[in-house]
């Protein structure tokens, strides 16, 4: 027989705060994307063009990078709350730890991506990039492809898989997220592969779909967390 336990008021508050943080994190990340560079260029471009691109508006890059890093950090908080919810159930296996690990991967490589961009902007102001063309192209590839969407895509894919399976089991709601999340998981991997292997991987056409899917999935879960009290242990 299933035994329902009353969920403590403190835990309900924690879950709702996680929902609020999830919404804020997505809004902050979107603000970072919108305020960032309008376009990306290929790493095969001339060093002069790369230097001109990263040094054209360093203040804007700093603001965009700061917003993205804060948004990614808040996403880890949201993911930790979701992971704690999943740990209440005894039939979810490693889904909770997978969600948390995925968020950390996204945070680490998303932060590195924006740090590299700001380092490039700083070096361009110092005039240090033109004398090291290969290093300049390497750093720009780290920013435009390797870190984001490249290596971060593994975190996004893990997140989509965990959310899809959790929704399929009824442990994450809304349950309609099941198939969209499971379909977004391989799409995120394709996005990452393109980011790592192509010279302009950050501007590939798959990236906006993966980012939009990430925002929709996270916002949907966050809204439910705001309205629902967490499932009790069974």
Q: Where are the domains of the chain?
A: 9-227
Task: Compare 124 and 217 and report the one with higher pLDDT.
Answer: 217
SS (H, E, C) 153-165: HHHHHHHHHHHHH
pLDDT, one tens digit per residue, over 10-28 is 566 788 899 999 999 999 9
Distance (Å, rounded) from C-alpha 43 to C-alpha 201?
Answer: 9
Distance (Å, rounded) from C-alpha 148 to C-alpha 68?
Answer: 12
Q: Are the C-beta atoms of residues 199 and 44 closer than 8 Å to each other?
A: yes
Task: Name the pLDDT band for 217 (thresholds 50, 70, 90).
Answer: very high
CA atoms within 13 Å, Cβ hemisphere of 80: 11
Does the pLDDT of residue 202 top 70, yes or no? no
Could you give the maximum distance between any two Cα atoms of the chain, in Å? 73
Express as a percent the part of the chain with pLDDT over 70.
Answer: 86
Cα distance between the two ends of the chain: 9
Q: Are the C-beta atoms of residues 2 and 217 closer than 8 Å to each other?
A: no
Work out the average pLDDT over 146-163: 93
Does the pLDDT of residue 133 top 90, yes or no? no
| pLDDT the model gives residue 39 | 64
Does the pLDDT of residue 124 top 90, yes or no? no
Helix (H, G, I), strand (E, B) or coil at 199: coil
């Amino acid at each position: 027989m299933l035994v329902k336990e009353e969920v403590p008021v403190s835990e309900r508050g924690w879950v709702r705060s996680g929902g609020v943080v999830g919404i804020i994190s997505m809004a902050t990340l979107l603000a970072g994307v919108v305020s960032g560079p309008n376009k990306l260029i290929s790493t095969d471009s001339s060093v002069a063009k790369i230097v001109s691109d990263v040094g054209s508006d360093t203040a804007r890059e700093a603001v965009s990078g700061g917003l993205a890093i804060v948004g990614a950090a808040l996403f880890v908080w949201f993911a930790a709350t979701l992971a704690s919810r999943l740990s209440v159930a005894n039939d979810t296996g490693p889904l909770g730890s997978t969600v948390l690990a995925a968020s950390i991967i996204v945070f680490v490589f998303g932060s590195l991506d924006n740090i590299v961009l700001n380092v490039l902007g700083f070096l361009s102001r110092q005039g240090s990039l033109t004398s090291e063309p290969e290093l300049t192209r390497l750093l720009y590839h780290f920013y435009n492809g390797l870190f984001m969407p490249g290596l971060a895509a593994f975190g996004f894919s893990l997140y989509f898989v965990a959310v899809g399976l959790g929704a399929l089991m009824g442990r994450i709601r809304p349950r309609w997220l099941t198939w969209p999340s499971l379909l977004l998981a391989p799409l995120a991997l394709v996005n990452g592969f393109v980011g790592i292997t192509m010279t302009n991987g950050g501007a590939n056409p798959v990236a906006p779909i993966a980012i939009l899917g990430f925002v929709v999935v996270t916002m949907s879960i966050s809204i439910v967390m705001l309205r629902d009290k967490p499932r009790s242990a069974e």
